[in-house]
Amino acid sequence: MSAVHIDVLDGIAVVTVDNPPVNALGHAVRSGIADAVAQTDKDASVQAVVLIAAGRTFMAGADISEFGKPMADPGLPDVVLQIEAAQKPWVAAIHGTALGGGLEVALGCHYRIVDARAKLGVPEVHLGLIPGAGGTVRLPRVVPVAKAAEMVATGRPIGAAEALQVGLADRKSDGDLRADAIAFATEIAGKPLPEALVKRAPVDAPDDAAWHEIAGSLVSKARGQNSVIRAVDAVGEAVRLDGVAALAVERQVFTDLMADPQSAALRHIFFAERSVSKINSLKGVVPRKLDHVGVIGGGTMGAGIAVALLLSGLQVTMIERDEDALATGQGRVADTLMASVKRGLISPDKREVLLQGFIGSTNYDALEDVDLVIEAVFEDMGVKKQVFAALESATRADAILATNTSYLDVNEIAASVSDPSRVLGLHFFSPAHVMKLLEIVRPDQVADDVLATGFVLGKMLGKIAVPAGVCDGFIGNRILSAYRRECDYMVEDGATPQEVDTAMKAYGFPMGIFAMQDMAGLDIGWAARKRRAPTRDPKERYVAIADRLCELGRFGQKTGDGWYHYPEGARRGEPDPLVSEIIADEAAKNGIKQRDFSAEEIMDRILGAMVSEGQAILDEGIAASAAAIDVVMINGYGFPRWRGGPMFAAQAGQKNG
């Protein structure tokens, strides 16, 4: 079957793009569409054309795997111009996701009809690019300029209802998209063609002050990402210039950005995120049934996991130690789902349905039917083992037992039950219903179908599931410990916590390590350090500053003081002279003569620590690839995406600036 085929019936040509999995606009699709324009123009029996896609989605964009290679003709910008210049009206019939080049093709069409669940967007910024086939030029000529700028700069797609409201779609189909599109095409057949978008004036013209505000607010969220800044500029130019001149500007920016190392980094991560969960050894392994999941513990993590499970359609039973704790846990779940209603993510009815699938109990017997249990109890080996013993007697013998531990030895936990092949680690990140990362920890004796079920769960939850071997901290927390230690050294040696945090933010992290610890709570790390104290190598350098803060009850934001001082209710800390005194005192105690650190040296040291720990993790087989480490650090630890992750950055020889 060719990538594009044409069926003509009763004067309407239906041009179908069929290029699985996502109808990317590779060469065969581009030339197929260009041929379809020529053919339908020539065919006197054709009065209107419907452009539709087979399979799960409308065209999801240019074929990213062709990027970086010479682009064979016809190029996408020309294909869009050809559709726009067609002599018969073209109607784009959109289902699934019309993204990037896909939406640009739809903008070349004279009309657009959208399936009620369709999403439309231009996500090129996430690949370090801007739309390159007229998106920045045609969008503000069909939707208000502020909306166009927002779509191009954030890459966030909009739904069918909004597309209709802002003018991006002309019709919505609630049933049979193909039939509705043909009916629409029949209606407009023979009528004069609307003026080509590229020849029109923008929908509105914000004055300088208004544009300044729109652009300023979008650019302020760029955090060092070039494509966002260039995207906003390109829309500004597209509004200022006539359409044809604007297309040339857009093309130049697109070409420049294609050569920008940031784009290479973002494309690396795009493919890494999609390949990281594919495990060769699990090919053909049939996963176990997964309908009903138990969650042990209703704290922040347990409740977040329960919400994630419910939202993916699973039935959930939560276990807590007593009625009060259970009520609190259930309340957390209900509240989180209510917040999702308020944010428009689910309807109030949907929330009710989800809550019907949510059972709470203080008795492990309620787990007799579950297919999988995830424990999210206190991070202590003794407590975990008690829970696993109870799980073993309460659950079916084929139920999978998962621990959400972030540091503990999953092999030791597995060995505590009679059938260790049922046990694996599922390390979620908080808030568990929001964060995309899931480390799937593989103890030595885990059965293949248990592991495969873990990956099925990851997919159901919409997470990026990264396999990790057993070690202290797995991939992410182990690297975090390594670079936190490096930061502690630097602070004792003379860098201030705020200098370290500022350097990290300038590099592109959303916050620095010390502000992050204050947000998460210093007590957690303190407990872990006390646990490890007996086995710590006495010859290894140990920085006791954080312990001193904890001894004073300074656990971070929640106590108003940590590495920083938080005046009444503030979420932004300010430097605290007491912390400086403690640091100076520790340095003096250890005979350290403090010195100045530049931001560059700080980042060199942090990245050096990340990369050498990452290399050790690779050498030990804890991570399957350097790309897996990049995916973890970007999705769980705030590493700037546009730098491609620490391993990629090191390999590409990126500068810190």
Record the tokens describing residue 244, joined without a space: 């044809």
| Residue 115 binds ligand 3H9 (CB under 6 A) | no
Q: How far is the CB of 462 from ligand 3H9 (least distance, A)?
A: 8
51 versus 490: smaller Cβ distance to ligand 3H9? 51
Residue from 223, 244, 222, 245 nearest 232 by CA: 222
Q: Which is nearer to ligand 3H9, 122 or 513 (CB)?
A: 122
Catalytic residue among 84, 104, 375, 492: 104
The first and second tokens of residue 339, run together, are 């917040």
- Which one from 84, 124, 439, 492 is the annotated catalytic residue? 124
Out of 17, 36, 60, 308, the residue judged to bind ligand 3H9 by CB under 6 A: 60
Asked if 370 is part of the footprint of ligand 3H9 (rule: CB under 6 A), the reply reads no
- Please, where are the H alpha helices in 494-625? 497-507, 513-520, 522-532, 545-551, 577-589, 599-619
Q: Could you tell me the CA-to-CA distances from 354 to 184, 315, 586 in Å, in that order? A: 38, 8, 53
84 is an active site residue: no
617: closest CA among 499, 481, 516? Answer: 481
Query: From the CA atom positions of the chain, what is the Rg in Å?
Result: 28
Which CB atom, from 133 or from 468, has the smaller least distance to ligand 3H9?
133
Least distance to ligand 3H9 from the beta carbon of 43, Å?
28
Work out how close the CB of 134 gets to ligand 3H9 at its nearest, in angstroms, rounded to a whole number.
8
- Which one of 6, 28, 64, 355 is in contact with ligand 3H9 (CB under 6 A)? 64
Residue holding tokens 């993510």? 345
Closest distance between ligand 3H9 and the C-beta of residue 248, in Å?
Answer: 14
Using the contact rule CB under 6 A, the part of the chain among 94-102, 212-220, 486-494, 582-590 near ligand 3H9 is 94-102
In sequence order, the 6+-apart residues with CB closer than 8 A to the CB of 656 are 507, 599, 600, 603, 604, 607
> Which residue's CB is nearer to ligand 3H9, number 227 or number 340?
227
Interaction of residue 469 with ligand 3H9, rule CB under 6 A: no
Spatial distance between the Cα atoms of 474 and 458, rounded to a whole number of angstroms? 17
Active site residue 195: no
Q: How many of the other CB atoms lie within 10 Å of CB of 329?
A: 23
Q: Check residue 125 for interaction with ligand 3H9 (CB under 6 A).
A: no
Q: Which candidate, 74, 129, 79, 72, places its Cα nearest to that of 104?
A: 79
Please tell me whether residue 61 binds ligand 3H9 under the rule CB under 6 A.
yes
Q: Is 76 in the site for ligand 3H9 (CB under 6 A)?
A: yes
Dihedral angle of Cα 29, 34, 35, 39, to the nearest 10 degrees = 130
Nearest to ligand 3H9 of 254, 364 (CB atom): 254
Angstrom CA distances, 632 to 126, 279, 305, 354, 472, stand at 17, 16, 18, 30, 16
Closest approach, Cβ 271 to ligand 3H9, in A, equals 6
Instruction: Choose the stretch contacting ligand 3H9; rule: CB under 6 A; options: 1-9, 20-28, 302-310, 570-578.
Output: 20-28
104 contributes a contact to ligand 3H9 by CB under 6 A: yes
Tell me the closest approach of the beta carbon of residue 25 to ligand 3H9, in angstroms. 7
108 interacts with ligand 3H9 by CB under 6 A:
no
Q: How far is residue 396's CA from residue 390's CA, in Å, rounded to a whole number?
A: 12
From CA 59, how far away is CA 26, in angstroms rounded? Answer: 10
Instruction: Say whether residue 180 binds ligand 3H9 (CB under 6 A).
Output: no
Which among 235, 234, 239, 265 has a CA at the least distance from the CA of 252? 234
Residues in contact with ligand 3H9, counted by CB under 6 A, come to a total of: 24
Which parts of 310-369 interact with ligand 3H9 (CB under 6 A)? none
Q: Is 21 in the site for ligand 3H9 (CB under 6 A)?
A: yes
Binders in 273-302 for ligand 3H9, by CB under 6 A? 274
- Structural tokens at position 216: 């300023």
Residue selected from 32, 128, 131, 304 as contacting ligand 3H9 according to rule CB under 6 A: 131
Of 97, 77, 90, the closest CA to residue 36 belongs to 90
Residue 23 CB, shortest distance to ligand 3H9, in Å, is 9
The minimum distance between CB 371 and ligand 3H9, in angstroms, equals 24
CB-nearer residue toward ligand 3H9: 41 or 233: 233
Site string for ligand 3H9, 229-268 (x = CB under 6 A): ----------------------------------------
Stretch that binds ligand 3H9, among 4-12, 122-130, 209-217, 577-585 (CB under 6 A): 122-130
Cα–Cα separations (whole angstroms), residue 524 to 200, 500, 519, 529: 59, 21, 11, 9
Residue 101 in the binding site for ligand 3H9 (CB under 6 A) = yes
CA torsion through residues 623, 625, 626, 630, sign: negative
Answer whether 480's CB lies under 8 Å from 516's CB: no
Is residue 426 within 8 A of residue 438, CB to CB? The reply is yes
Give the nearer residue to ligand 3H9 in terms of CB position, either 24 or 160. 24
Whichever of 58 and 211 has its CB closer to ligand 3H9, that residue is: 58
Alpha carbon distance 251, 23 (integer Å): 23
Distance CA 121, CA 141 (A): 15
Interaction of residue 169 with ligand 3H9, rule CB under 6 A: no
CB of 133 to ligand 3H9, least distance (A): 4
Select the residue interacting with ligand 3H9 from 37, 48, 53, 62 (CB under 6 A).
62
Asked if residue 97 binds ligand 3H9 (CB under 6 A), the reply is yes
Residue 293 contacts residue 374 (beta carbons within 8 Å):
yes
> Which of residues 270 and 542 has its CB atom nearest to ligand 3H9 in the complex?
270
How many angstroms separate the Cα of 81 from the Cα of each of 36, 46, 467? 13, 20, 45
Other residues' Cβ atoms within 10 Å of the Cβ of residue 271: 12
Whole-number Cα distances in Å, 346 to 292, 307, 338: 21, 12, 9
Residues that bind ligand 3H9 (CB under 6 A): 21-22, 24, 57, 60-65, 76, 97, 99-101, 104, 123-124, 127, 131-133, 135, 274
List residues with catalytic annotation.
Answer: 104, 124
